Structure 1
Amino acid sequence: MTGVRDLKYRQWFRGADVDGDGVITRQDVRLMGERYIAARGAASGSATAHRLTEGLDAFWASVIEPMDSDGDGKVDLREMTEGFQRALADPARYPQQVGPVADCYFDLIDLDGDNRVDQAEFGEIFGLAGNVSLEDSAAVFEALDQDGSGGLDRAEFHRALAEFFYGDDPDAPATHLFGRIPG
């Protein structure tokens, strides 16, 4: 595990600890999804919202809950960092571990259904729901839009999340996806 990945995971933890009590619970994971659904104005009973809830439940069960080393139903920063070190060690497992939830988020972000996320959509979801400053969000988007098309397609979105969770390069475009990490 590199120091960069540890910093990224800490940043992700801050966003995932929705209620700010210093631990991640199943409720935090669900609230994270609800926060994104609300930011997009999607109906909580919509197909995308339902898929996101199911995907987050699976993400909790397969990735987060196994990190709960003391069995108290809560994952603190130490447990999460150690758990991510174990669970997210192999980028080849991205399609099973992160991919399904990433697809749900992409569908939620792509509100107009054009199969691309433009800068406004990206800024809204990461800025409003993800607690990332609009300036940081714009800078990350620009770096991720490597072809300069003005939008991220599903493949570019997946590459960004894979780089965030599995990558070690402090200068990679996705390093600050969930907020600026200390440099």
Structure 2
Amino acid sequence: MTALQERKYGQWFRGADVDGDGFITQRDVRMMSERYIAARGAAPDSATARTLTEGMDGFWANVIAPMDQDGDGKIDLREMTEGFRRALTDRARYPEQIEPVTDCFFDLADLNGDGRIDRAEFQQMYDSVAGVPGEDCAAVFAALDRDGSGALDRAEFHQAVAEFFYGDDPDAPANHLFGKFAG
């Protein structure tokens, strides 16, 4: 793992640590679910809310919880970084390791279900859910919209996520996918 990847993973960790206590817990993931549900304007007992909650519970169980090395139910930055270091060793494994989670997040951000994430959807989801400031969202979105269509299709979104987790180019636009930081 390179120093750049470690900094990017730290940025991701800060966004996933919703309550800011220095750990990612199932409660943080549940709070993310609640924010996604609120951003979509869905009632807490709706089918949409249940689907989102189930998806995020799966994200906790299959991606985050296995990183808990000491069994305390909390993942600190070291555990998360080591978990990524162990899991993300080969970009060729993206389809099995990250693609299913990325598809879930794409569907969460695609608020109108048209198969594209437009700038407003991107900003709404990242601002309200991940706490990424609006001006950062606009700049990141513009850089990720590689074809200039005004929306991210699923392929562009996958390219950005793969670039974020596996890439080591300090100038890659996806470095800022979860908030701007000094590369």
- Whether the aligned pair in 2 keeps the contact of 1:62 and 1:97 (CA below 8 Å) is no
- Equivalent positions of 1:21-60 (< 5 A) are 21-60=21-60
Flag structure 2 segments of 5+ consecutive residues without an equivalent.
none
**1:51 and 1:104 in contact (8 A); partners too:** no
- The residue aligned with 2:151 is 151
- Cα separation, 1, equivalents of 2:51 and 2:90: 25
For residues 105 and 67 of structure 1, the distance between their equivalents in structure 2, rounded to whole angstroms, comes to 20
| Residue pair 1:52, 1:101 contacting (<8 A) in 2 also | no
The one-letter amino acid of 1:32's match is: M
Q: CA deviation at 1:132?
A: 0.7
Conserved? CA contact 2:36–2:52, under 8 Å? no
Q: In structure 2, how many angstroms separate the alpha carbons of the residues matched to 1:123 and 1:138? A: 7
CA contact (8 A) 1:39 1:125 kept: yes
Secondary structure of the corresponding residue to residue 82 of structure 2: helix
Which amino acid is 2:50 matched to? H
Query: Could you tell me how far apart the structure 2 residues matched to 1:117 and 1:110 are?
Result: 5
| Residue of structure 2 equivalent to 1:17 | 17
**In the aligned structure 2, how far is the partner of 1:97 from the partner of 1:169?**
21
Q: Secondary structure at the match of 1:175?
A: helix
For 1:84, the equivalent position in structure 2 comes to 84
Deviations 1:72-112 (A, max 9, x none): 11111111111111112222332333222322222222222
Asked if 1:70 is matched to 2:66, the reply is no
CA 1:88–1:124: 2 relative to 1, 3 Å: same
Deviations 1:20-46 (A, max 9, x none): 111111121221122122122133344
Q: Is the 8 A contact 1:59 1:98 kept in 2?
A: no
Q: Identity across aligned pairs (percent)?
A: 70
Query: Could you report, residue by residue, the CA deviation over 1:109-145 in whole angstroms, capped at 9, with x for unpaired residues?
Result: 2222221111111111112221111111101100011
Q: 1:128-167 alignment to 2 at 5 Å?
A: 128-167=128-167
Partner residue, 2:125: 125
Q: TM-score, normalised by structure 1?
A: 0.91
Shift of 1:177: 0.6
User: How many residues get paired?
Assistant: 183
For the structure 1 residues 171 and 111, does the alpha-carbon distance in structure 2 shift closer, same or farther, using more than 3 Å as the test?
same
The CA deviation at 1:146 is 0.7
Which is worse superposed, 52-61 or 6-15? Answer: 52-61
In structure 2, C-alpha distance between the alignment counterparts of 1:106 and 1:180, rounded to whole Å? 20
> Could you say what the CA RMSD is over the residues aligned between the two structures, in angstroms?
1.7
TM-score, with normalisation over the residues of structure 2?
0.91
Report the secondary structure of 1:135's partner residue.
helix
Give distance in 2, aligned partners of 1:56 and 1:93: 21
Say whether the 8 Å CA contact 1:55–1:100 is kept in structure 2. no
